[in-house]
Structure 1
Amino acid sequence: MRRIVTATVRNQSGVLNRITGVLSKRQFNIDSITVGRTENEGISKMTFVVHVDDDRQAEQLTKQLNKLIDVIKVSDITDQAIVARELVLIKVLSNAQTRSEIGGIVEPFRASIIDVSRESITIQVTGDTEKIEALIDLLKPYGIKEIARTGLTAFLRGSQKEVTNLSSYSLLK
């Protein structure tokens, strides 16, 4: 089963390595990891998409990650109301005849063509995994030359978000 886990961590060298070490030691299959700074200086947010066998294994994962020294908070947000997006760049083979056709395909997805050459176009799209996969499937017949994906990034919708006073953590002082 696929789980979406977020971790609020100190922005320190080696944190990502320690976290992926915990995941690999327990043989979790990682679909994606995204990491970025937050609105609080010295704090980063990580989003992991992992595959686990059952709820017990998912709970064990969050407990193990919470034990790491630079980890402030870990949450499994899979079953909650979340906002989740991924950015994907797709380079598709094209010529003068197929460019407008491809443009018509990407438009309903609110994707944009960000680069054009004689033999290809590059499309940028953001959205949930299902939307991204649907667009990729429609573009496959034209010949996909290259795909680069950021991985999923997510957090709880506004009404559920916990307000955490990060300055109260002794790790940050």
Structure 2
Amino acid sequence: QRSKFDSDELFRRLSRESEVRYTGYRERAMEERRMRFVNDCRKGYAEISMVASGTNLQLYFNANHNPYAQEQECDFERERGKVHLRSGFIMNGVCVRFRGWVDLDRLDGAACLEFDEQRAQQEDAQLQEQIQSYNQRMAESRRIYHTPQTPPEDHHHRGGPGLP
């Protein structure tokens, strides 16, 4: 995962801090959009676009929605007039973390994606457990359903199948 994050052009662009915008309720008046953005954040999610790449993200930063959530993933207290957001997710098979802020008046800000080493290790460990479990089930199936057969090379020595 790390090598894909470091070498993929999209990840390289998204890993540099760049402009972001809240994309929810675009057809509504700005005041209503501000209110809805704050409410959505308090509920644990937000629709954000990384402007330069045109990448739209549905972020979750609430333990009810995101089992990997950590404290203060949506922080209104850190800086007056802004909300700081962090959200981990898997993008194109790579564990990443969105880190940034949005101005509560303009509904824009700055953010980047970071490689999430800890979550990548958790995902890799789960994958290894699944592979090991699969291999154990396959070995058990072979043991249970194995019927002794004459090896193919024995047919040649006896003159072929069915011949003495």
- The TM-score normalised by the length of structure 1 is 0.28
- The TM-score normalised by the length of structure 2 is 0.29
Choose between structure 1 and 2: higher helix proportion. 2
Structure with the larger RCO, 1 or 2 (CA within 8 Å, 6+ apart): 1
Choose between structure 1 and 2: higher strand proportion. 1
